[in-house]
Structure 1
Amino acid sequence: MTTAHASASATPITAPGRRLTGTLGAGAIVFMVVAAAAPLTVIGGGFPLAALMGNGAGAPAMFVVGGVILLFFAVGLSTMSRYVAKPGAFFTYVGYGLGRPAGLAAAWLAILTYTTVQIAVYGYLGYTLGAWVDDKTGLSLSWWVWALLLVGVVGVLGFRHVELSAKVLGVLLVAEVGIVLVLSVVILVQGGNDGISVDSFKPSVVTSGTPALALMFCMAGFIGFEATAIFRDEAKDPERTIPRATYAAVVVIAVFYTFTAWSLVQGWGSDFADEIANDYAGFIVTTGDKYLGTAGAEVINILLMTSLFACVLSFHNVITRYQHSMSNASLLPSHVGRVHESHESPHVSSLLQSVTAFVLLVGFALFKLDPVLQVFYWFSGIATVAIVVLMAATCVAVIVYFTRNRIDAGLWRTWIAPGIGALGLAAVTWILFANFPMLLGDVDAEGNPTLGALTVWMLVVMAAFPAFGFAQAAWLKRRRPAAYATVIDTISE
């Protein structure tokens, strides 16, 4: 393995028309990765589930716990981005730290992660948009029709320069964050349902029920922020922009989730548990109707759909750049790494991702899967488990990389923070695997998780992707040693 200084200055793959460029600032990158986290969707969907199945009114505190764990992870990620000046993110960092085979395994697990979460959201968005249009116009179409139309819209935006997507995401993100903040402020100004309290953060409330399950759902709300490093080649001054964007994304997401979730608890007070139990799916809209009136509830409902759209657009951009980096590392066909002459976008990779989404959604439609209970919950469950595993592996890779190469980047940044992050993420991984059947709805008559056929099948799918990465590494090492030698190197500054 090369040293840090060699890795940063190694001869990059510089074939004409294969390198991404841009002038994205930290703010634009934060907009894209926070949009991927879909704040309104998390507060309207993930938070009610965290409260219902977890620790009730103590659920807001779990966003704090998740944010702290991910801040430790972000320290290692940002430090690695300074010394390994490559845009491959997970697979590059894991490869430099734990070896090329592990890097390839991480690459394919990352593709699984972002593809499944995007497909999950397409299912939910197709269903939600279809129901809304039916209610307003009487036009009734299957969920997958709307989902496929949205694949086309996202594909057009993804084909063009990333700054167009950044502007679209910026507008949508401001709108969805704005309405939730307005709702939160109105709740607090009106004194909530029973007055304002901080009981949600009391140890007795936080530890009530099943806080581990609450943490599981809250951690899922952060998916996407870690993708800051994948935009390295399109960033202005990446040495400063990427770390700033990474820290800002974690802090913004954690503070927003914690504040708004706590405010929603205040909105129902002593009635919170009953309201969540009776209407967790429509919780955010019902709360909006209570405090903002019918018009406010309608705005929230519309922005919930735009939040989901922003999410799929953001993940589309992330996946296309992962595929672009993998192509330049000889893991995917060479033409996937081509860059459009005028749009300066990974247009072939974007088309590939659009086709992938199209084919999967058509397959789900043919098998008549439910867009919410099956497409959304099944595949978001896979993404949640996979992303936490990737983060934990990255923390370990940071420690190994800096230790092996004897690089003095500070004990805090190379050992302490990544080590704490790895321990926290390992604990979350254990929680996720222990409750994975519940994410898939694979439970017995009493509602307890059970290792049924669906869970086994999903675990096999999850294991198959990194297994393919290890197999591909072995094949490249034996049949294409020159490509294997640079397999974790991608186009760099």
Structure 2
Amino acid sequence: MPRCQAGFHSNFPELMTVKKDQMSISNSEPRTTDAPAKEHSTALRAGSIGVLGILFFVLSAQAPLTGIVGASPLAAALGNGAGAPGAYLIVGIVIVIFAVGFVAMSRKIQANGAFYAYVTAAFGRKTGAGAAWLALLAYNTVQAAMYGLYGAAFSGLLASIGLEVPWWLLALATMAGVQVLGSLNIELGARVLALLVGLEVAILLLFGFTVLLHGGGPEGISVAASFSPEAIGAGAPGVAIMFAVASMFGFESTAIYSAEAKDPHRTVARATYLSVGVISVFFSFISWMLVSYYGPSRVMDAAGAALESGDATSFVLGPMVELFGPWAGVVAGILLVTSLLAGIIAFHNGINRYLHSLALRGSMPAVLARTNRHRAPAFAAWIQTATAVVLVLPFAILALDPVLTLFSWFSGLAVAALLVLYMLCSVAVVSFFRRERAGAQLWQTRIAPVLATVLLAWVLFLVVSNFTALIGGSAETATALLAAVPVVFLAGVLVESAIERRHHAATLGHALT
């Protein structure tokens, strides 16, 4: 997570660009004594990625097929049944409102990171560091969660053709491949993700439009059955909204790539709104077609039966097989694996750039700011891969179920951490524009961020209240995971405070000599 503020040192032009009218915030200045040595390059490849490239990184992080296969049966069975598509739409509206302030900040502060940069601009280094550590917690844990589900899905796929390979071995082997890809230029990564995302979106749209053209299932197609207030409010709508949030976050990663974007002032804003709009409509449409296929009166029972069978994927993959034949199940199974792989790659790239930016600002070891001949943050990539190994390996050593523990626990933790960050970012928008009024519009800098803060607080309450359902674990496990959020935030603040004291002492020592 990058730092963002005005008055950046000229040695760090790639980190952030601030508009001329932005106020200077002294505590955001880079610590030049901790800067990377000049003989090592720290520059990323500027102007190398456009709106569509960033969009594919974001959609990959959201893993559309994984989101539908993983969240829709839970939202329907444990939430509000036929009203689940409406829950996706509500979450999309909340995210759009949040994005208004987020985009306003991105136009003022162009940095290869979002939360850390924006929170630092509003509240200073220490609070920004807390946000940085929370974001690193969220992104590293959600990537580790994806490795768990990826390993299990890939192992199951190989078992279907007679090959028995442990899930953890597949996960570790993939980490090596992701490490190599993350060290290459970002355009290559964008092309790989475009292919993977395109395939998974294509098969879901094929299913959706086939159901639509056939007029739905036994009960036809009904808008009111899924999108009316009565339908959305039926059952346990809070649970449905919680699972919708879990499958849709990641759009904020658009700002991570601003240092490498073509015309970042426009690119980040366009990519953010486009990703939010696309994913909201997409999830609502596909889940609506699932409801239509089963029938509004039967979908909750069908989703519940899939969960009880131990194979929740059958809720989505079963209808595909019935509509298109056995080949669809095989292809969808393969695409589920590639969907997770795309998400893993996207989070790897995003985390690398947060570490790179933190190192440029002196809040991480300077070596993490170094880039290779492809201008990729290769040293940060090694640290990210090592972190993934540390997070995943204990689950393999203890022989824990990778889906019921690694995937479920860390996904829930990531959702809670990101919701806190969304709220903190919205408050930061209001605080920042109270001082920086030039060009500020009331809706973008006051009304939307305040409304987003209230709505996000409500969603966070739903998540915390239903956290055991989200992670599928015990109350003790839920408490331990939730406690990690404030602990990690505080750790970031304390470490930054120690760094500032050390820097101040060093500066004072130089002044006295």
Which TM-score band applies after superposition, normalised by the shorter structure? Answer: over 0.9
Q: Which residue of 2 aligns with 1:154?
A: 178
Q: Which residue of 1 aligns with 2:251?
A: 225
- Cα distance in structure 2, aligned partners of 1:441 and 1:28: 35
- Partner-residue secondary structure (3-state), 1:480: helix
- Cα distance in structure 1, aligned partners of 2:505 and 2:119: 20
- Written as runs of structure 1 = structure 2, the 5 A alignment for 1:32-47 is 32-47=57-72
Does structure 1 retain, via aligned residues, the 8 Å contact 2:416–2:485?
no
Q: Which residue of 1 aligns with 2:104?
A: 79
- Cα distance in structure 2, aligned partners of 1:11 and 1:119: 33
The one-letter code sitting in structure 2 at the alignment partner of 1:308 is L
- Cα distance in structure 2, aligned partners of 1:255 and 1:440: 26
Q: What TM-score, normalized to structure 1?
A: 0.92
- Cα distance in structure 1, aligned partners of 2:303 and 2:42: 50
The one-letter code sitting in structure 2 at the alignment partner of 1:325 is S
- Written as runs of structure 1 = structure 2, the 5 A alignment for 1:136-147 is 136=161, 138-147=162-171
- Written as runs of structure 1 = structure 2, the 5 A alignment for 1:329-408 is 329-341=361-373, 343-408=374-439
* 1:424 paired to 2:449: no
* 1:116 paired to 2:148: no
> Unpaired segments of 5 or more residues in structure 2?
8-20, 508-513
Does structure 1 retain, via aligned residues, the 8 Å contact 2:181–2:189?
yes
The alpha carbon displacement at 1:222 in A equals 1.6
The alpha carbon displacement at 1:92 in A equals 1.1
- Cα distance in structure 2, aligned partners of 1:63 and 1:98: 32
The one-letter code sitting in structure 2 at the alignment partner of 1:458 is L
The alpha carbon displacement at 1:441 in A equals 2.4
Going from structure 1 to structure 2, the CA distance change for 1:44 and 1:483 (only over 3 Å counts) comes to farther
- Cα distance in structure 1, aligned partners of 2:345 and 2:6: 36
Q: Which residue of 1 aligns with 2:117?
A: 92
Q: Which residue of 1 aligns with 2:22?
A: 5
The alpha carbon displacement at 1:202 in A equals 1.7
1:216 aligns with one of 226, 242, 259: 242
The alpha carbon displacement at 1:11 in A equals 8.0
- Cα distance in structure 2, aligned partners of 1:256 and 1:483: 54
CA deviation string 1:91-110 (max 9, x = no partner): 11011112221100000000
Does structure 2 retain, via aligned residues, the 8 Å contact 1:88–1:326?
no
CA deviation string 1:211-235 (max 9, x = no partner): 0110011011122111110101110
Going from structure 1 to structure 2, the CA distance change for 1:327 and 1:238 (only over 3 Å counts) comes to same
Number of residues of Structure 1 aligned to a counterpart in Structure 2: 474
1:463 aligns with one of 479, 486, 498: 486
- Cα distance in structure 2, aligned partners of 1:271 and 1:298: 26
Q: Which residue of 1 aligns with 2:16?
A: none
The one-letter code sitting in structure 2 at the alignment partner of 1:285 is L
Identity %: 40
Does structure 1 retain, via aligned residues, the 8 Å contact 2:42–2:371?
yes
The alpha carbon displacement at 1:369 in A equals 1.7
> Unpaired segments of 5 or more residues in structure 1?
444-451, 485-493
- Partner-residue secondary structure (3-state), 1:85: strand
Does structure 2 retain, via aligned residues, the 8 Å contact 1:476–1:483?
no
The one-letter code sitting in structure 1 at the alignment partner of 2:165 is L
* 1:285 paired to 2:317: yes
- Partner-residue secondary structure (3-state), 2:49: coil
The alpha carbon displacement at 1:8 in A equals 10
* 1:265 paired to 2:291: yes
* 1:174 paired to 2:198: yes
- Cα distance in structure 2, aligned partners of 1:424 and 1:210: 18
- Cα distance in structure 2, aligned partners of 1:304 and 1:467: 37
* 1:441 paired to 2:464: no
Does structure 2 retain, via aligned residues, the 8 Å contact 1:224–1:315?
no
CA deviation string 1:127-167 (max 9, x = no partner): 1100110111x121211011111111111111111111100
The alpha carbon displacement at 1:477 in A equals 2.8
CA deviation string 1:300-358 (max 9, x = no partner): 111111111101111111111111111111121100110112x1100111111112112
Does structure 1 retain, via aligned residues, the 8 Å contact 2:112–2:258?
yes
The alpha carbon displacement at 1:434 in A equals 1.3
The one-letter code sitting in structure 2 at the alignment partner of 1:127 is A
The alpha carbon displacement at 1:456 in A equals 2.6
The alignment's C-alpha RMSD in Å is: 2.0
Q: What TM-score, normalized to structure 2?
A: 0.89
- Cα distance in structure 1, aligned partners of 2:435 and 2:405: 44
CA deviation string 1:399-454 (max 9, x = no partner): 000002333411111111111111111111111111122223245xxxxxxxx322
The alpha carbon displacement at 1:385 in A equals 0.6
Q: Which residue of 2 aligns with 1:204?
A: 230
Going from structure 1 to structure 2, the CA distance change for 1:220 and 1:274 (only over 3 Å counts) comes to same
Does structure 2 retain, via aligned residues, the 8 Å contact 1:81–1:229?
yes
